[in-house]
A and B are shown apart, each in its own frame.
Chain A
Amino acid sequence: MGEATDDCAIVVKNISKKFGDVLAIDNVSFKVRKNSIFGLLGSNGAGKSTMISMLVGLLGPSGGEITILQNRVGATYPAILKKKVAIVPQSLSLYEDLSIYDNLYFFGNAYGLSSELIRKKIRFLSDTLRLGDIYRKVRHLSGGYQRRVSLAMALMGNPEIILLDEALVGIDLETREVTLNFLNGLKRDKTIIYTTHALEEAENLCDEIVFLHHGKKLKGGLTEQIVEEYAKKHPSEIKVTLPDFKEISKICLLLKKKGYNASSHQTTISIKSLSDEQDLSKIISILKHVANYRADVIDFSIKKPGLNEIMLDLLSRERK
C-alpha cells in the first residue's frame, strides 16, 4: 500500500483495532480515490462499523495509520476533518420531535453554516431528495423519508467525504432509486464510502471495494476488475425457458453433444458458459435448428458471476 497521494481521499495503512482481547480490525489497508464510491463490504460483524467509527474519529486505531485528505488521524482527530467528513449512520439518528426543517437547520448550525446558507441548502436538498413538506415532524415520516432526511443532514455541511454506514437498509424502492441516483450524482465532487452487506447494490454503485471478514481484508480493488477477473474463471449461467418440455431433453442432449455444460429442470435449460456472448449466438442457432422456438421463448437470461458469488467464494475459501 503506497503513501497518500493527492488523488487519494483516504489511505488506511495496516490498521488494527482491539477492544480488550478482541481484535475487531486486523491489519487492514486500502486506499479510497477522490470522487469515487468506495464499498466497504462484509457480513455482519466484519468490522465495517468499527472502520467507519475510526474514519470519523469516534474511535482511535490501536495500530497503523489513517490519512484522510492529507491529514493524519491518530489518537486525536484533526478538527478540520470534522467539516470535511460526514456520516450517515446505520440508525436514523434524527430528532423525532422536530420537523425536517428543524433537524436540517440544527445540523447546518452544527457545521457552522450561516442562516442564509442553511436555508438555501435545505431548499436544495429538499428538492433533490424529494423531501416533500419539510415542516412535518420526523416522527410522522415513513422509514424511507426518514432515511432521506438522515442523508440530507449529512450533506448540510457540504462534506468532501460521506460515510454511509448501512444507510440504505430496509428502504422502499422509490427511496432507493432517489438515493442511488443522488449518490451517483454526488460522485462528481465528493468521495463516498459505502458500507453494506447488500452486494448487488454495491456492485452497481461502487467503483472500488474491500471485502472484510472478522476484521480482516479478504480482497480489495476496482469493482469491475474484481468481477471480471472472477468471471474469467467462473462461468456465467444462461437460462432459457420454453413453453413446454417436449423438446427440452432433445435440446439439452444436443447442447451437451456440442460440449456445453447443460442441464434441464422442467421447461428451463441451464447452460454454464465461460464466454457467454460468444456462446449465446451458438445456443440460439441450436434452438432454431431443433425447432422453431425463437418466437416462443418465454424467458431468456444470462447470469454473470457477481459480488455475491465472489463473497461466497471468498468466505468458503476462508473457512477452508
Chain B
Amino acid sequence: MFLSVIKKEAKELLQDKGFLALAIIEPIIFILIFGSTFQNSPENISTVIVDMDNSAFSYYAIQGINESDVYNVIDVVNTPLEEQINRANRSEIRAVIYIPKNFSRGINSSETTTIEAYFDSSDFIIYAFLSGAQGEIIRNSLKNITSDIVNDIESEKDYNKRKVDEIKSIFDTIESQISSLEDNFNESERSKEDYTKRVNKTLNNIKAGFNTQLDFFSNAERSISTIVLSLQLLETSNNTQRDGLIGGLQGIQSSFSSIKVSIIGSISELNGASLSGNLSSTTEIIRDKLNTMKDQFYNAEALSRDVNLDLSRLKGAFLAEPILIKEKAIHGEITYFDSLGPGILSFIIFFIALTAPTINIIKEKENNTLYRLSTTPSSGAIIFMGKFLIFLVFGFIEMIFTLFLAVAFYNMRINGSFFATFTILFLVACSAISFGLFISSRIKTIQQGLLVIPMVIVPFFLVSRTFYPGDFLPVYMKYVSYLSPLTFSTHALREVMLKGVALTSVLSDIAVLLLFIFIPLILFIISYRKIKY
C-alpha cells in the first residue's frame, strides 16, 4: 500500500502539467531575484558636502570623504545647509556633510574641530552604513591633512641626508686641495710661473668648495626651519615628543650656523692670501678652520641622528583626536523594526488581498459555479465588480486590523497622518485584488494557484526595497523593482510613516499604484472573456 500511495501521488503530480511547469519555474525565479537583489555590498550612497570653510584643510576633508566607498559625493556646495537637508528629505540624497566655517581655524589653533553629518534615517540599513562609515571620514581627512604636513618634512629630511653626504665629500676635496697647496708651495722654487698658476687654481678650488658648503648650510638651515614650523603645526596627543624633536632640530640649526661662520672666516682668509704674502700661515689657518668645521659638522650629524625623526609615530599621535563628527539622524533615531514596518505592512496587506480573490475565483472555476453564473443574465462586469468590492472591504478590515496590531503591540512608528497611511495601504489592497483577479483568470486549479501566488508575491516583496535599499541594487534590478507595486507603496509609506510627509508629497507613488490597480484589472477583463470552462 505504501508504494501504491507513492505511485498514485506521483502520477497525480505528473498529470498536472501546469503545476509541474510552475514547480520548475518558481525556484528559478526566486533564486534569480534573490541573487540579483542582494548582490552588491552597500556603497556609493549619494552624499552632498556643504563646505563653508573652503580651505586647504576642508579640501582634505572632502578628499577624505570621497575616498570612502560608502559615500558617493555627488556635489560640493557652499549654499545653506537647509537646502541640502530638504534634498535629503525628498530622498534625492542620503547624507549631507557640513564642514563649518571655522574648520581650518580649529585645526590651526590646535582645537578640536567639528564636522556635522546629517544622515537619512528613514532607511535603517542606509543609516547604519552611513553612521558606521563616519570614522572613515575622520581617518581619511586627517590622513590627508597630516600627509600634506609630514610629507614636506619627509622630503626635506631626504634632501638633507643627500646633502650631508655631499658635504662630506666636499670636506675631503678641500682637505686634498689644502695638501696640494702645501705641496705646490714647496715646489715654488723650481718653476715660479707654473707655481703661481697652480696655487691660484687651488685657492679658487678651495674657495669654491667653501662657497658650496656655505650654500648647503644656508639651505639646510632653511630646511630645518620649515620642518620645525611644520612640526609646530602638528597638534598631537603627545606634544612632549614633538617638542623634543623641535629642540633637537634647533640644535642642528645652531651647529650649522657656527659652521657657516667658520666657512665665511675661511673664505675671507683665502681672499687675503697672496703668493708673495704669508701663504704658509694662511694655509695653516684654513686647515685649522677646516678641522673645526669638520668637527662641528660631524657633531651636527651626530645630533641629527639623535633627533630620530620618527614621523610615523608623530602621525599616529596626530590622528588621535583633532576632528570630531557630530552625527544627526535627519528623521530621528529609527529602529530596524520601524524601517521595515512600511514594507512589511505593504506585504501583509498585499498577500491577504491577493490570496483571497485568487483562491475564491479558482474555487468557483473548479466548482463550476462561475460557469453556471456566466449562463445567467448577470454580466461578468457586475459579478467581478461585486467580488472586487467585497474583497476590498475584506482587505480594508485586514488593513485596519494589521495596523492596529503593529501599533498597539509593537508601537510601530507613524509620524505622518493615519489617513495618508490608510490611503496608501488601501491602494495596495486594491492593486492586490486586481492582480488576484488577473491571476485567477489564467489558472485552472487550486494547486496551481498555491504555487502562482507566492511566485508573484515573493519577488514583488524581495525587490520592494524593504530589506535592501534601492541605492545598493544593481542598475537592472532597479528597473525590475519598478515592476512591483510594493516598491512604490513601501516608498510612500516610509515617507509618510517615518518622515511624516503629507499625502501630496507622495503623489507620484500614488499615481503608479493606481496604474498597478488598473493594468491588471484591464488584463483580467481581457482574459476573462477568454476563460475556458
Chain A residues close to B by CB (< 8 Å): 53, 56-58, 79, 82-83, 85-87, 89, 91-96, 107, 109-112, 153, 157
B368 and A112 contact, CB distance less than 8 A = no
Those 5 A-B pairs whose CB atoms lie nearest each other, nearest first: A110-B376, A93-B368, A82-B377, A93-B372, A110-B378
A281 to B374, CA, bound (A): 58
Is there an interface contact between B375 and A86, defined as CB atoms closer than 8 Å?
A: yes
Most buried by B among A57, A93, A112: A93
Give every chain A residue within 8 A of B367 (Cβ-Cβ).
91-96
Measured in the bound complex, the distance between the Cα atoms of B372 and A82 in whole Å is 11
Cβ-defined partner of B376 (8 Å) among A92, A94, A95, A111: A111
Q: Is B533 an interface residue (CB 8 A)?
A: yes
Quick check: B374 and A58 within 8 Å, CB to CB?
yes
Taking Cβ atoms with an 8 Å cutoff, the residues of B that contact A are 367-369, 371-378, 533
Q: Could you tell me if B377 and A89 are in contact, using CB atoms closer than 8 angstroms?
A: no
Task: Check B375 against A57 for contact (C-beta < 8 Å).
Answer: yes
Nearest Cβ in chain A — how far from B92, in angstroms?
52
Known A-B contacts A58-B533, A110-B378; A94 and B373 likewise in contact (beta carbons under 8 Å): no
Main secondary structure of the interface of A (DSSP, over half): loop
Contacts of A93 in B (CB 8 A): 367-369, 371-372
Q: Is B369 within 8 A of A56, CB to CB? A: no
Supplied contacts A82-B375, A86-B376, A111-B376, 11 more A-B pairs, CB within 8 Å: A57-B375, A58-B533, A89-B371, A89-B372, A92-B367, A93-B371, A94-B367, A96-B367, A111-B377, A112-B377, A157-B377
Chain B residue, CB-CB nearest to A150: B372
CB-CB under 8 A from B533, the residues of chain A are 53, 58
- Determine whether the beta carbon of A95 is less than 8 Å from that of B369: yes
B47 to chain A, nearest CB (A): 58
* Cβ-defined contact, A110 with B377, below 8 A: yes
Q: Complex formed: what's the CA distance from A83 to B375 in Å?
A: 9
B375 near A94: Cβ-Cβ < 8 Å: no
Please tell me if the beta carbons of B376 and A82 are within 8 angstroms of each other in the complex. yes
Residue of A nearest to B372 (CB): A93
Minimal beta-carbon separation of B157 from chain A (angstroms): 91
**Cα-based distance from A91 to B377 in the complex (angstroms):** 20
Q: Nearest Cβ in chain A — how far from B274, in angstroms?
A: 128
* B377 to chain A: closest residue by CB: A82
A110 touches B368 (CB 8 A): no
Residues in B with CB closer than 8 Å to A83 are 377
Beyond A93-B367, A96-B367, is A87–B374 a contact (Cβ under 8 Å)?
Answer: no
B371 engages A110 (CB within 8 Å): no
In the complex the two chains form, what is the Cα distance from A91 to B374 in whole Å?
15
Closest to A53 in B: B533
Q: Is A56 touching B377 in the complex (CB atoms < 8 A)?
A: no
Q: Which residues of A contact B373 (CB under 8 A)?
A: 110
A-B contact pairs, 27 of them (CB 8 A): A53-B533, A56-B375, A58-B375, A82-B375, A82-B376, A82-B377, A87-B372, A89-B368, A89-B371, A89-B372, A91-B368, A92-B367, A92-B368, A93-B367, A93-B371, A94-B369, A95-B367, A95-B369, A96-B367, A110-B373, A110-B376, A111-B377, A111-B378, A112-B377, A112-B378, A153-B372, A157-B376
> Across the two chains, which residue of chain B brings its CB closest to A79?
B377
Q: Which residues of B contact A82 (CB under 8 A)?
A: 375-377
Cα distance, A57 to B374, chains bound together (Å): 9
Tell me how far the C-beta of B387 lies from the nearest C-beta in chain A, rounded to whole angstroms. Answer: 13
Q: Could you say which of B375, B377, B378, B533 has the most chain A C-beta atoms within 10 Å of its C-beta?
A: B375
User: What is the distance, in angstroms, from A161's C-beta to the closest C-beta of chain B?
Assistant: 11
A218 to B64, CA, bound (A): 93
A140 to B317, CA, bound (A): 86
Minimum Cβ distance to chain B for residue A30 (Å): 21
Residue of A nearest to B386 (CB): A109
Residues of A within 8 A of B377 (CB): 79, 82-83, 110-112, 157
A96 to B533, CA, bound (A): 19
Please, how many angstroms separate the alpha-carbon atoms of A93 and B375 in the complex?
Answer: 12
Instruction: Give A161 to B377 CA distance when docked, in angstroms.
Output: 14
Give A89 to B372 CA distance when docked, in angstroms: 7
By the criterion CB–CB under 8 Å, are B375 and A85 in contact? yes
Min CB distance B445 to A, Å, is 15
Measured between alpha carbons, how far is A82 from B383 in the docked complex, in Å?
A: 15
A46 to chain B, nearest CB (A): 19
Give A58 to B373 CA distance when docked, in angstroms.
11
| Residues of chain A lying within 8 A (CB to CB) of residue B374 | 58
Bound Cα distance from A196 to B368, whole angstroms: 19
CA distance A112 to B383 in the complex (A): 13
